[in-house]
Structure formats: structure tokens, C-alpha cells
A and B are shown apart, each in its own frame.
Chain A
Amino acid sequence: MDIIPQIIANSIIAGSVYTLIAVSFNLIYGATKFFNITHGVMTAIGAYAVFFFGKQMGLSVWVAVLIGVLIAGMIGWLLDRFIYRPLREKKASQLALLVASLGAFTVLQALIAIIFTSRFQTLTHGVGVQKTFEIAGGIITQTQVLIVIAALVVTAGLMFFLKCTRFGKAVRAVSDDNEVSKIIGINTDRIIGIIFFIGSAIAGLAGILVGFDTAIEPTMGLVLLLKGVIAAIVGGIGSIYGGAIGALLLGFVENFGIIKIASEWKDAIAFGLLILFLIFRPRGIVRT
């Protein structure tokens, strides 16, 4: 039974990574109601920006992280401004937006591979240099502590922002009814643009943290997106709180699911959980 504390720690860490993707995906989905596939590649953009500015250019880690987060956010904003917004103005269907985002995802991922090659890269300068902590029998690295803290801060921050600020309330209004938001004078395009920036920046942060924890590769975004989306649907699509709950549940189910079976089954367990929710609780845990 010694393994249980470590599995709990792993579940929380995985759940925290998924939280960052799920809440930011839900933030964008809530306002736009479209399945933004490019959200996944923002993780790679953030991570590779840190790789370039931190490791190749030699800037300090914190400066590189800040630049990485801002670049991911800016690219998210640009995608909305020059692809999704014109499509929305032309009353394009959700399918058209989905296909456009798939196209943008493919292009951006290919660009990263062309510029940085498809090899695995690390953001840290050495192996085994990370400080570790033992908490209730489970070992957790410094980066993993940061991942958990980031998930908590981002989720709490977004909930506070949406509940207590006027801009946050406007975001909720846009998510509730885009047309009426326009009617009462909200510049919904501006709001959605900012939402893309914030959501993409959070995804970029997730990619950076994953990069420091393990390694980076151009296709890292797809797996993270799929897990984040499963968490978002399980928790409640479009809900910040739901996304975090779903992510944590997914982290625990995945990690406890492989106690007795091979870890290759992890993804199958995640999709099994998704299918169960789609059949028995399609509106997710918080019933959005």
C-alpha cells in the first residue's frame, strides 16, 4: 500500500496540468461556443518560446516564461482577430470554425517542427537537478509543486475575475447570450479577443510547466488538448469550476486505473470516462 501516496500525488499533478488546459479551454468555449483545436498548440508555442528565449538565447528563466506566456496569448488573440472573428462575422457554422482551427493547429505545429525539429527537447539544463519534496509519503518535484500552485491560482483567479469584476461579468454575459450582449452595448469582439489572449496564455503556461517537468516536442499539444477537453466535458463544458473538478477527477481515475494494469491503458481509461459521462451525464458534473 506504500504506492498509494505516490499515486495520489501523481493524480493531483496530472489533474493540475489538465486543470490549466480545461479551464482555459472552457473560458474560450464559453464565450465562443466552438471547439477550438488550436488551444492545444498554444502549449507547444509557450514551451518552445521558453526553449528559444531561455535555453538558446540565454535569458533568465522567469523572463523567458513571461515571454512564452505572452507569445502564446498574443498568437491566440491574432488567430481570433484574423481567422475566427472574420468567420463569425460571415456567420460561419461551428463546423467551419472547427475546420479552420484544425487547419491553424496543423500549420502552427508544423512551423514549430520546421523551426525547432521534431526531437524531444528539455527546458532544464540538466537531469535530476530538481529539488524534490516528500509529502505524506509521496515524492513531488519543485516543478510539480509549481504546477499544482499554478492550477490553484489560475482557477481561483479566473473564478474571482468572472464573478467579481465588471469585465468578468461581461464575459459571462457574452457566454450567456452573445447577441443580447451586443444589443446592450458590449463590444463582444473585443471581449472574445481578450478571452482568447487569456485562455491561450494559460495554455501556454501549461505547456511551459509540462516542459520543465518532462520534455517538449512539437506534437505535445494534441495529447494535452485531448485530456483537457475530456476534463472540460466531464466537469461541465464552458464552466471554469466544472473544468477544474473534471480535471482532478480525470487525474485520479487515470492514475488509480493503472494500479493493476499497464500504464499504456491510461488514455483508454480517460476516453472510457468520457464515454461514460457522454452517455450518463452529458452535461458534466456541474451540469452546464
Chain B
Amino acid sequence: MNTDKEKLLQLKGVSVQYGGVHALDTVSVSLDEGEVVALMGPNGAGKSTILKAIFGLAPLHTGRVLWYERPFTPVPHEVVRNGIAFVPQGRRVFTTLSVEENLEIGGYGIRDEKELKKRIESVMDMFPALKQKRKTLSGTLSGGQQQMLAIARGLMIDPKVLLLDEPSLGLAPKVVKEVFKKIAEINKNRKTAIMIVEHNIQSLLSVAHRGYVLDKGRIVAEDEAEKLTSSGILERVFTGRL
């Protein structure tokens, strides 16, 4: 899948250190147009740090981030302007803002009011549960609804790339299924490339085309999702038998 399409987003030889400890050690990952890439591994493997490094939220010790093969210095508002949206772990909607205001702020860079309203309606159409609660303070929504809102807020910039960090965290199995259904829909209908960090491997591999397995800040395997499942690498990494 990643050979003949243009490389959309790449991390090349990226290292990130926190207080002298390697969170990432010369890691290289890539994401192609329309692709869903999974980042897997045990806690502390560095999965979320990859997403943060793309956004400039984790300082690069070495390496580069490339957008359409061109290096760029990750600064959050510049990254968003490029068309990359990030849905952080733990949902983190703006709890003191209404559902509609969260979406409006999600499209903060859109200057044309009409276009902004159009985007809000388009995103609301994708998430009917949010439409019914547009004036509700988002802090009062259920966990599942907050997760949907966090994803919807990310879609407000009509991103080329969507970075999702643990979208199923703390959600009931039924809601997790719904969330992954939406993720698959976003990829299929909007052709949005998605890089996703997730512990729920079963749900993750149901939507991912390709995946990376990380352990202690390094990539230990990279392959198509199905091959990773059958290779047994995931069991070995998660049980510490690598």
C-alpha cells in the first residue's frame, strides 16, 4: 500500500528525550494518502510521543518530520494549517464550551463565516447525536459523545491527516464499536489518512491497513495489519517476550 502512493507524512530518524530518557529512539514512520496506519505497543512504548512529535508537542532531539517529502518544523498552528488534525487521548473537549462552540473553535482558522457554518452542519450530519445536543455544554456529554465530539472537532479543518490517540480509552465496548465504525467511515468517505494509537488491537486492526509495533521507544515490526496479527509479534511484545 505504501509503495506507489505519494508519501504524505513521514518521521525520519526521530528521537525524543524526556530528562535524558529516550521516549523515541531513531524512529521512522510514514503515512500515505488515504491510508490508516496503526501504532501499537505496550504502555510507554512511545506511540503517543510519535503523534506529539508530529505536532511539535514533543521536542525532537534528532530526526525530521516531512510533509509531502518536505521537512517542516512542527509548530501546532502551522501543522493544523497544513491539514493535519490531532484528537488527543482522554477526549479533552472544551468542557466549558457548548458542542457547537467546540466545533466552531475546531474551525478557528476558517475566516469565511458561511464556510464555517457549512462545515459545522456537515460534521453534525456525520454525528447526529451531537446535532441534537448542539447547545449543550460538552462537559455534560457522555464519554462516547465527548469522543465523537473530539473527532468531529478534528474534522472541522477537513484534514488530509487525522491523528487519533487512544480513541477507545475508557469507553464501553458498544461505544468503542461505534467509534471505530465512524473512523472507518471517515477514511472511506472523506479519504482522510489516519494514524491511530490504540490498545484495543482487535478494533484497531479492523480499520488499519498497515501498522508499526513499538517497544521501548523503538520500532520492532512494520507490516500490513493482517500480517502483523498472524506473525505473533504482538503477543511477544505485549507479554514482554521479545
Contacts and interface: CB of A to CB of B under 8 A. Distances in A.
Interface of A: 166, 169-170, 172-173, 175-177, 179-187
Interface residues of B, number: 25
Interface of B: 55, 57, 76-77, 79-81, 85-86, 88, 92, 94-97, 101, 104-106, 108-109, 153-154, 156-157
CB-CB nearest 7 A-B residue pairs: A185-B80, A182-B76, A176-B94, A187-B77, A173-B105, A183-B86, A185-B77
B97 A185 contact: no
B88 A173 contact: no
Contacts of B77: 182, 185-187
A169 B94 CA distance: 10
A180 B86 CA distance: 9
Given A173-B97, A184-B108, A185-B109, 15 more contacts: A170-B108, A172-B101, A176-B97, A177-B92, A177-B94, A179-B88, A179-B92, A180-B94, A183-B55, A183-B80, A184-B105, A185-B77, A185-B80, A185-B108, A185-B157
Q: Which secondary structure dominates chain A's binding surface? A: helix
A173 B154 CA distance: 15
Nearest to A176: B94
26 contacts: A169-B101, A169-B104, A170-B105, A170-B108, A172-B94, A172-B96, A173-B105, A175-B96, A176-B94, A177-B92, A179-B92, A180-B88, A180-B92, A183-B55, A183-B76, A183-B88, A184-B105, A184-B106, A184-B108, A185-B77, A185-B108, A185-B157, A186-B77, A186-B105, A186-B108, A187-B77
Contacts of A181: 105
B106 A169 contact: no
B85 to A, nearest CB: 8
Contacts of A177: 92, 94
Contacts of B88: 179-180, 183
Contact of A185 (B81, B92, B101): B81
Contact of B57 (A175, A179, A184, A187): A179
Nearest to A189: B77
Given A176-B94, A179-B57, A183-B57, A169 B105 contact: yes
A173 B103 CA distance: 11
Given A169-B104, A185-B76, A185-B80, A176 B96 contact: yes
A181 to B, nearest CB: 8
B76 A172 contact: no
Nearest to A186: B108
Contacts of B55: 183
A182 B80 CA distance: 9
A169 B101 CA distance: 7
A183 B80 CA distance: 8
A184 B97 contact: no
Contacts of A182: 57, 76-77
Contacts of B57: 179, 182-183
Most B CB within 10 A of own CB, among A176, A180, A186: A180
B91 to A, nearest CB: 10
Most B CB within 10 A of own CB, among A173, A182, A185, A186: A185
Nearest to B81: A185
A191 B200 CA distance: 37
Nearest to B96: A176
Nearest to A30: B96
Given A169-B97, A173-B97, A179-B57, A184 B80 contact: yes
A138 B157 CA distance: 57
A50 B78 CA distance: 41
